[in-house]
Structure 1
Amino acid sequence: MNIYFQKSFQRGFGTYPLKGDDLCAAVDAALEAGYRAFDTAQMYGNEAETGAALAAGGVARTELCITTKVHPDNYSAEKFIPSVEASLEALKLDRADVLLLHWPPADGDVAPSLRLLQEAHDKGLAGAVGVSNYTARMMRDAKAVVDVPLVTNQVEFHPLLDQNKLLAAATETGIPLSSYASVARGEVFKHGLFAEIGEGYGKSAAQVVLRWILQKGVPLNTMSTKPANIRANFEIMDFTLSSIDMARIDTLNATGYRIIKPGLLPWVPEWD
């Protein structure tokens, strides 16, 4: 089974942009709430703090799924493996459960970094590997380059953005999506539909949004520093949105709200 589709890992806790005491407190609250999947990255500058917080959290290593991501600046034969080894040292791990390429390379040629990712896997530095922020074309290219399963393409995914092309590519390639920016950094709360639907289930607007993502077949990452919100974001497995409510939410895809726009970072591709 794909590691992200194990029930305990479908709801991940993202650590960006947390650092210091805020990070430690949030990780503690997430562990207490029941989170067992945690997401960090070289780019976040918090791998060591995340590793320390998880090591001190009292949950057995075997129960955790820890994901980190390689910075595009390290997509060279000289830097890639040493950067992964440095991440593992910071995280206090022998290997990452999941290792992702954080962005496609700026030149759009995904093959060299994918081969380095497979090398890291073959060396035992990661139990599973995947990508992030890939377009549908890049997903198809990736499928042809590597001969190990890619367990995810982690992308911006929320009801205000039409990602049906990527969902179709996920079906075509067998590379499932997973989400970041799952509540569009709060933008979803400007739309009253989520709270309206939530009233019928005894759930909050945020819980409705997250449940919609899961019912799209997309494991998700959320982040909060408030223990009550951390718990609420996790408690979304005890209800199911009706097909009618799913369709009502689908109409908001037409909003076209995207946080990560081309030009924001050097590696952002032209999206589908």
Structure 2
Amino acid sequence: MNIYFQKTHQRGFGTWPLKGEVLAQAIANALDAGYRAFDTAQWYGNEAETGAALAAGGVPREDLCITTKVAPDNFGEDRFLASVEQSLKDLRVDQVDSLLLHWPPANGDIAPSLLLLQTALDRGLTRNIGVSNYTVAMMREARRIVDAPLVTNQVEFHPLLNQDKLLTAANETGIPLSSYASVARGEVFKYPLLEQIGRGYGKSAAQVVLRWIIQKGVPLNTMSTKPENIRANFDIMDFTLSSVDMARIDAMTRTNFRVVTKESVPIAPEWD
């Protein structure tokens, strides 16, 4: 696993769709729970509020791992770097720890935005670069285009969706996956098996899901506004799911429930 995702960085706090005081309080609670990795994006419209909340949290900058994502409408050569510089200003940092491309471009030509991403890295605007919502073919092509390591392909990943093809591609290309929609926006809680498995470990269904993701080798992002859930989502490193329970959860991926579809996000690629 890439060193970028070791230690507490394996468990990131996502900020979508939070704003205002709700966001500020959630970040304060996340810092208190132990989170040090935080994920935002230009499209979320909350970079400035995220930056203010992290600055108010009092945690040294070197202990934080801050990720943001460039919106596709800023992929043009005339807008890309300026948009990243604005993100840094809003986040109150000299550089982010990871800068991702939020989506593949609608025309499918990934080279121009990847090369601009590399330029942002070369100029010191970010410590690491990565992508989000890339298909297997895009992961392979990106590996050929970009010289620097791509530290992640952030994708929808949870027990109701089979992402074995992407996991195989991650091993093949050296581009690790990381997850969003880690509990499928609550859909996983409709399945009693997860709660049943959790009882054997003294853990909740949500903690079982998140532990499953970690044991699949995938760092994760979660979001909650409830302090008890924020803490519980972080407290998943003190137990290990057995191989039998992992297999039982693996079988659930045949459900193939997807949160993000082309109907909900028209620019989404044709998923693997």
Distance in 1 of aligned mates of 2:243 and 2:126: 38
Distance in 1 of aligned mates of 2:60 and 2:15: 19
Distance in 2 of aligned mates of 1:266 and 1:101: 17
Name the residue aligned to 2:74: 74
* Equivalent residue runs for 1:81-100 within 5 Å: 81-100=81-100
Name the residue aligned to 2:64: 64
SS of 1:76's equivalent in the other structure is coil
* 1:155 aligned partner, one-letter code: V
Name the residue aligned to 2:108: 108
* Equivalent residue runs for 1:261-272 within 5 Å: 261-272=261-272
Distance in 1 of aligned mates of 2:175 and 2:52: 31
* 1:128 aligned partner, one-letter code: N
Deviation of 1:265 after TM superposition, in Å, equals: 2.2
Query: Deviation string for 1:28-63 (max 9, x for gaps)?
Result: 000000000000000000000000000000100000
Deviation of 1:6 after TM superposition, in Å, equals: 1.3
TM-score by length of 1: 0.99
Name the residue aligned to 1:123: 123
Query: Deviation string for 1:6-45 (max 9, x for gaps)?
Result: 1110000000000000000000000000000000000000
* 2:33 aligned partner, one-letter code: A
SS of 2:179's equivalent in the other structure is strand
* 2:75 aligned partner, one-letter code: Y
What is the aligned length? 272
Query: Deviation string for 1:79-132 (max 9, x for gaps)?
Result: 000000000000001001000000000011111100000000000000000000
Name the residue aligned to 1:216: 216
SS of 2:199's equivalent in the other structure is helix
Distance in 1 of aligned mates of 2:109 and 2:243: 40
Name the residue aligned to 1:18: 18
TM-score by length of 2: 0.99
* Equivalent residue runs for 1:63-212 within 5 Å: 63-212=63-212
Distance in 2 of aligned mates of 1:26 and 1:4: 24
Distance in 1 of aligned mates of 2:266 and 2:188: 27
Distance in 2 of aligned mates of 1:155 and 1:205: 21
SS of 2:93's equivalent in the other structure is coil
SS of 1:214's equivalent in the other structure is helix
CA RMSD of aligned residues (A): 0.8
SS of 2:152's equivalent in the other structure is strand
> Any unmatched runs of 5+ in structure 1?
none
SS of 1:126's equivalent in the other structure is coil
Question: Is contact 1:3–1:151 with CA below 8 Å preserved after alignment?
Answer: no
Distance in 2 of aligned mates of 1:214 and 1:186: 18
Distance in 2 of aligned mates of 1:139 and 1:104: 11
Runs ≥4 residues deviating over 6 A: none
Deviation of 1:218 after TM superposition, in Å, equals: 0.0
* 1:84 aligned partner, one-letter code: V
Name the residue aligned to 1:39: 39
Query: Deviation string for 1:243-272 (max 9, x for gaps)?
Result: 000000001001010011124223200000
Distance in 1 of aligned mates of 2:52 and 2:133: 28
Deviation of 1:3 after TM superposition, in Å, equals: 4.4
> Any unmatched runs of 5+ in structure 2?
none
* Equivalent residue runs for 1:230-241 within 5 Å: 230-241=230-241
Question: Is contact 2:2–2:176 with CA below 8 Å preserved after alignment?
Answer: no
Query: Deviation string for 1:208-227 (max 9, x for gaps)?
Result: 00000000000000000000
* 1:145 aligned partner, one-letter code: I
Question: Is contact 1:11–1:234 with CA below 8 Å preserved after alignment?
Answer: yes
Name the residue aligned to 2:2: 2
